[in-house]
Amino acid sequence: MKTTLLLLALAGLAPGDAAQGTKQDSEDLTVTTRTGIFTGAVNANYPDVHEFRNIPYAQPPVGARRWLPPQDLPPSSQHAYSLRWPPQCAQYLTRIPTYWNSNGTEFYPNIASQSSIAGVQAQTSSEDCLSLAIWTPRRRVSPSKSDAKLLPVAIFIPGGDFLNGGVDVTYQKPAPFVSRRQDLIVVTLQYRVDIFGAPNAAGLLDQNLGILDQRKAVEWLHANVRSFGGDPDRMVLWGESAGSIAADFYNYAFYDNPIVTGFFLMSGSVLDPQSPADPTYSNFSFVAKNVGCDFGMGSNRDPDAELACMRQVPSNLLLNFAGQYRDNKTDPTITFRPVPDGRVLFGNYEERAAKGLVADRPLLISTTAHECSSFFYPIQHLTAGPNLRFTDEETLKAFVCPAANATRWRGALPGRTTYRYQYAGNFSSVTPYPWLGAYHGSDIPIMFGTMVVQPGVTAFQQRVSESMQDHLAAFVADPENGLRNMNTGWLPDNGSVHGGPMMRFAAGDKVHRVINSIEVDGACFGQGKYNHSPT
């Protein structure tokens, strides 16, 4: 299976995926790492960008390795063509219409000709999926050059509610960003999701396998990114939505050795509402019972026999049963998302923050102005939209107030620099209904520059995109001082009850301007009413 992943690209390329280059290009496209030699592609639309689309960072978690922590790849000099995107990690396509699988499919993993509401496992997904993709400037720095020439690295963890996601997502391919800037490298990693990423099984010591996958990817990059011209001592961990929550889990779990030099939390933190704990491991055993692995429940369970049996069940049977059961909204509900284990995830983050058990690395944390409008998809009332008072309440509860509290916690500690921004754009090219506003994830195509896949991009929208990219590039290059050195007035927020500096992008006719965070957070503390459409 490892060879399958490494050689996936040998079968050929999809039309338009890569451009032919010169002999020099071909030489530049081949990179030697500790775990293999990889030849990438020139992006057809951005020929000054090189893409390495499928770089395994751990052994395939299949067979006996299913539900084990990610295992290191052995040293190798095997050559592979990294020209095709890897399969997404095994995931289920809900049949319940949402914004993401209906109007916002550019945020959704590319699933070829399969219906996005298929109600079965995605045919483009597989358990053999622990890969990352790397985008570099075409004329990247040789690893033999001095450290001063190496480029900073942004490591992106995609979201998807810990149920979906991957590298091959239209809006999340950063070639436009890398092409325009030419001074950073962007990496996107894949990690196990759903029952494979967070099984919470009685027979397992490690439950939060998807989070451990992310750590393994960071370790691989630290050991190998220099081969791509990246600086292993200037890597920022950046996540969006569930990926942002995961990055913050990492922030606390590996606080004493984070490896990375900064964090960017894009709409998510450890304070976001999480799934209920399952201390009796009933969810996993319920699935086991229904796929022919009934070895008891509770104190009568044989956890080792249950686990051994479940390792023999094909992935589609596991995902389809669990996913269809959830779609039917049957009681009792079952979930497979990260759970507190006292090792990687915790149930007492405020206490841990007070003790300083959080990485002493600068953090950038953001929200969008109307986060929750897209979560309440009114399929019968798309013109009118949902109850906006309700979506405001949920936006405060799930995103704004957690970001404010995280900032205050950090402000009470020495050496925890925190920057904040709010995205307020409402651009028709990426916002099909006006009531959506700056919905959850709507800043992704703006930051990545991928809004250009849609018609109708405005000059103002382009300026906003460039400003957001420039600010992020400054943070990645120097998380402590990069933003303040841009001289746009964006300074750290020290967590004061009176608020602090916050950058606001795309409100009214302003590309960016600094506001007091109380304008956004005040409603969390009884000061004013929340405004989801600031100008």
Rg (CA), the chain: 22
Cα separation, 91 vs 191, whole angstroms: 11
**Amino acid residing at 56:** P
Q: How far is C-alpha 448 from the chain's CA centre?
A: 13
Whole-angstrom distance, CA of residue 263 vs CA of residue 257:
14
Q: Is cis: bond before 332, omega within 30 of 0?
A: yes
Of the candidates 314, 274, 268, which has an alpha carbon nearest to the alpha carbon of residue 291? 314
Angstrom distance (rounded) from CA 290 to CA 310: 11
Write down the H helix ranges in 335-457.
349-354, 388-395, 401-411, 444-448
Beta-sheet strands, E only, within 285-414: 363-368
Q: Give the β-pairing of 151-157 and 79-81.
A: unpaired
Closest by CA to 211, choosing from 225, 224, 223, 199, is: 199
Which residues belong to the active site? 241, 371, 440
- DSSP class of residue 17 equals S
Q: Which two tokens stand for residue 273?
A: 């509402």
DSSP one-letter string for 443-474: THHHHHSGGGGSS---HHHHHHHHHHHHHHHH
From 210, 166, 192, 213, select the one nearest 315 (Cα to Cα).
192
CA–CA separation, 41 and 19 (whole Å) = 7
Burial class (CB in 10 A: 0-12, 13-18, 19+), 498: exposed
Residue with tokens 């900064």: 262
d(C-alpha 9, C-alpha 52), whole Å: 11
CA-nearest of 427, 401, 425 to 518 is 401
Of 378, 402, 388, the C-alpha closest to 438 is: 388
- The dihedral through the CA atoms of 473, 372, 199, 254 has a sign that is positive
Tell me, what amino acid is at 475?
F
Query: Is residue 384 helix, strand or coil?
Result: coil
